[in-house]
Amino acid sequence: MYIDVSADEAWERLRASRWKPPGRANSGSRRKTYAAALEQTEQMFRAAAVVGPATRPLQVFYGLSQAGRAIAAAAVTLKGEDWRLVAHGIKASGFDKPFPDIEIRTDPPGTQGSFVRVSEVLDSPVWEKDAARLEDMWDLLPPNISYPLTGRERPTPLYAAASSIHDQDHPLLSVPVCDIPDRVIDAGSRQALADFLIAYPAIARHESYVTRRPLSFGFEAPPDYTRYDHGGGELVVNWEMPQGSATAAERLEYLLTMTRPYAGQRYFLPVLAPMSRELHPLMAWWAVLYALSMLARYEPASWVTKISVDDNPHAVSIERLLERALSHLPVLIADTISEVST
């Protein structure tokens, strides 16, 4: 799925918000922190744009970390001094392992680390015991769908085509679920689809989906996928509306409860094994960039090898990730501030 973003417009939105900060950042220390943190965020990103991948993870991550302080300052759910962030709240280890197997853990729930507190504001999970792998976090980012780290069967974001919701009142929410991988479509069976959707609880709760005619009498009709020329495909899935017949606006609102936002679009995200629910995309970016920044900072010789296109199969994927961080994250930051301040 092509993602259309304008970093320049996002920076304009963020700069324009500083004269009258949103949410609880409208006065006192929170207002000062909001403005100062966003200024540092922008300067970090501008600096990252003129350097190469050898140091770019450092500037981008710390720019995102400062944006987290602006998000916390604006968040209407954080009262008293809860908006003040202390330390990172996330750790990376296993730098001696293969790149996809780097381990990421968070501080416990309720602590003041940046990752934990911003996650709680966004109703996004934290995990302190079982480590999450870098590859798992990597695959949660929509722009990484075309940039796998290994050849494993990947659980990746599935785009929800919300624009297809029709205007007539109806008891079913019907939406094309996009970017279903070839392996599921090639299998062609209802069981293969059910097995795949285990990682996507919101889709697994569907009422039905569009099917083809059964191959023979007595057999259940298989899913009727629409294939893409570039690989993968989509399937129209139906959910029963809790209140019965509903307007288009009500059905869209129901879809929003099941999906996560990404640059003006909605995605069904898989729930990773260490987590109780799906990760907010901003926090997936945070986790990936934290791991890359720690690797670049504390293991510079290893990092230089990993970004060498002559020596490492992941180098181009890393380059593309860091390029997209510069264009996608300003949009996600601006959208997240709007999300938490209303």
**pLDDT of amino acid 215:** 60
Write out the two tokens for 2: 């092509």
**pLDDT of amino acid 213:** 78
Mean pLDDT value across residues 277-285: 97
**pLDDT of amino acid 118:** 98
Q: Assess if residue 302 is contained within a domain.
A: yes
Query: What's the CA gap between 188 and 194, in Å, rounded?
Result: 11
Q: Which of 252, 268, 284 is the last residue of a domain?
A: 268
Q: Is residue 218 scored above 70 in pLDDT?
A: no
Total domains in the fold of the chain: 2
Write out the two tokens for 115: 């990752």
Q: 237 pLDDT band (50/70/90 cuts)?
A: very high
| CA atoms within 13 A of residue 255's CA, in its CB half-sphere | 27
Mean pLDDT value across residues 161-172: 93
Query: What's the CA gap between 324 and 210, in Å, rounded?
Result: 35
Query: What's the CA gap between 190 and 70, in Å, rounded?
Result: 46
Query: What's the CA gap between 222 and 184, in Å, rounded?
Result: 12
Q: Looking at the chain, how many residues does it have?
A: 342
Write out the two tokens for 183: 């392996």
Q: First CA to last CA across the chain, in angstroms?
A: 29
Write out the two tokens for 310: 């002559």
Q: Which domain holds residue 150?
A: 7-154+274-340
Between 217-221, 245-249, 304-308, the lowest mean confidence (pLDDT) is in 217-221
Q: Is residue 197 scored above 80 in pLDDT?
A: yes
Q: Is residue 243 scored above 80 in pLDDT?
A: yes
Q: 207 pLDDT band (50/70/90 cuts)?
A: very high
Q: Assess if residue 11 is contained within a domain.
A: yes
- Neighbouring residues of 339: CB distance < 8 A, sequence distance ≥ 6: 122, 261
Query: What's the CA gap between 82 and 111, in Å, rounded?
Result: 10
Q: Are residues 194 and 305 in the same domain?
A: no
Q: Are residues 162 and 209 in the same domain?
A: yes
Tell me, rounded to whole angstroms, the distance of Cα 68 from its chain centroid: 15
| CA atoms within 13 A of residue 289's CA, in its CB half-sphere | 29
Cβ–Cβ < 8 Å for 302, 295 = yes
Q: Are residues 262 and 322 in the same domain?
A: no
- What pLDDT digit, counting tens, does each position of 28-40 carry? 999 999 999 999 9
Q: Are residues 305 and 241 in the same domain?
A: no
Q: Are residues 243 and 335 in the same domain?
A: no
Q: Is residue 214 scored above 70 in pLDDT?
A: no
**Backbone phi and psi for residue 160, each to the nearest 5 degrees, phi listed first:** -100, 115
Query: What's the CA gap between 187 and 194, in Å, rounded?
Result: 11
Q: Which of 268, 284, 303 is the last residue of a domain?
A: 268
pTM of the model: 0.95
